[in-house]
Amino acid sequence: MIKKLSHIILATLLLATTMGMAVSKHFCQSSLVDVSFFAKAESCCDDGGCCSNENHFYQVKEDFSAPVVSTIPVLAEIDVLYQTLLEPNILAPNELTKEFELTNDPPPPTVMELLAEEQLYLL
């Protein structure tokens, strides 16, 4: 349960940081009056002469996409395979071809085990 909850919290935190967050602050005579997230801060009076607003947008600028994996060129793979697999086979071709004799003999008889007759039971 704790593991699932931590996954949900981390996923929500990652989503919030990648989307960004707008913070709006309202100052009245250089004192902070109102702070609002994702909306405009409410002003304390109708007269705008003594009030000021500050808007900030916070967002993580790193890219969280999967890294690009480069592929190995085909020629490098062929060189490695040639040295390890193909060269010993060229030097010893007799080991690759083995001959087997096929006969039509019947299979060996099966041995039936009767364990109950050979065991001793103490009551």
Would you report the helix, strand and coil content of the chain in percent, each value rounded to 5? 35, 20, 45
pLDDT computed for residue 10 by the predictor: 92
pLDDT computed for residue 38 by the predictor: 79
Distances (CA, A) of 7 to 14, 16, 31, 64, 113: 10, 14, 39, 17, 58
Q: Can you give the residue ranges of every domain in the chain?
A: 2-58
Q: How far, in Å, CA of 47 to CA of 115, rounded?
A: 104
With 0-12 / 13-18 / 19 or more C-beta atoms within 10 angstroms meaning exposed / middle / buried, residue 36 is middle
pLDDT computed for residue 113 by the predictor: 63
The helix (run of H) or strand (run of E) holding residue 21 is strand 21-28
pLDDT, averaged in runs of 10, over the chain (123 residues): 93 83 86 84 74 85 72 56 53 60 80 65 67
pLDDT computed for residue 13 by the predictor: 85
Instruction: Of 30, 52, 57, give the one whose Cα is nearest residue 41.
Output: 52
Tokens 């000021």, residue? Answer: 52
Tokens standing for 22? 């707008």
Angle among Cα 33, 17, 28 to the nearest 5 degrees reads: 10
